[in-house]
Amino acid sequence: MKPADIAEFYRRLADRLPEPQTELDYVNDYTLLVAVVLSAQATDAGVNAATRDLFAAVTTPEQMLALGEEGLKRHIRTIGLFNTKAKNVIALSRALIEEHGGRVPADFEALRSLPGVGRKTANVVMNSAFGAETFAVDTHVFRVANRTGLAPGKKPEQVEARLDAVTPPPYRRHAHHWLILHGRYVCKARKPECWRCVVRDLCRYQPKTPPPAESGE
Ligand code: SF4
């Protein structure tokens, strides 16, 4: 995609939602980190349903250790991979207390070194908690970046680097949110809804999907 088209692509997504937010519920940096760790291979709605009661009682690493792994599992057993995630949340809470004074570090590499925290999670926390211009590549961002030709790449790290290289300044802070939401609600995995897409003339995906009536659905 040409630089002018990339700017126009973001301008249109931004126009629809100037201040996008994560759809995960959280009350502080720590609960954001926990929610993002829990969200791997799970829906935000499913994580929110599980954390509603959890975050009413637990908002610090110290409180999480007091709750303990079995107590945490009781809250999150509706979420996929909850056994592993419970272990990781307890371990990362301990690491925050022992290595970071109980606070979530505003540092990508420090976040990455925490149990259960990968590039995507560290990027989400840096962006949403600390305002960093990071590009978290989840399944939606990966798909939209490749389909449209905005930032093609075979691996998430390649797409992340490409987004970093091509995304112009006014849009860098919120780019990944706009791409997630576009992928979740319009450029869907199984069948993109091209007929109602605001960037269809800029996107290289072919053939564009027609409205359901025209496709016989
Ligand atoms: S035109 Fe279709 S494939 Fe392209 S971004 Fe829009 S919904 Fe996705």
Q: What is the pLDDT of residues 35-53, one digit of tens each?
A: 999 998 899 999 999 999 9
- In percent, the amount of the chain with pLDDT more than 90 equals 91
Nearest residue to 199 via CA among 142, 137, 148: 148
pLDDT value at residue 214: 66
Mutate to test the pocket of ligand 1, among 16, 142, 187 (most ligand atoms within 8 A of CB): 187
Task: List the Cα angle 189/119/166 in 5-degree steps.
Answer: 70
Where are any strands of DSSP class E within the chain? none
Average pLDDT over residues 155-169: 96
Tell which atom from ligand 1 comes closest to the C-alpha of 183: 8
pLDDT value at residue 6: 97
Dihedral sign for Cα atoms in the order 187, 27, 40, 104: positive
Is there a catalytic annotation at residue 120? yes
Q: What is the pLDDT of residues 151-161, one digit of tens each?
A: 999 999 999 99
Rounded Cα–Cα distance for residues 129 and 28 (Å): 8
- The active-site residue, picked from 25, 120, 154, 191, is 120
Rounded Cα–Cα distance for residues 144 and 146 (Å): 5
Predicted structure pTM score: 0.90
Contact 148, 199 (CB under 8 A): yes
Rounded Cα–Cα distance for residues 135 and 75 (Å): 30
Token reading at 52: 């509603």
CA distances from 151 to 1, 171, 184 (A): 8, 14, 18
Q: Is 200 in the pocket of ligand 1 (CB under 6 A)?
A: yes
Is there a catalytic annotation at residue 5? no
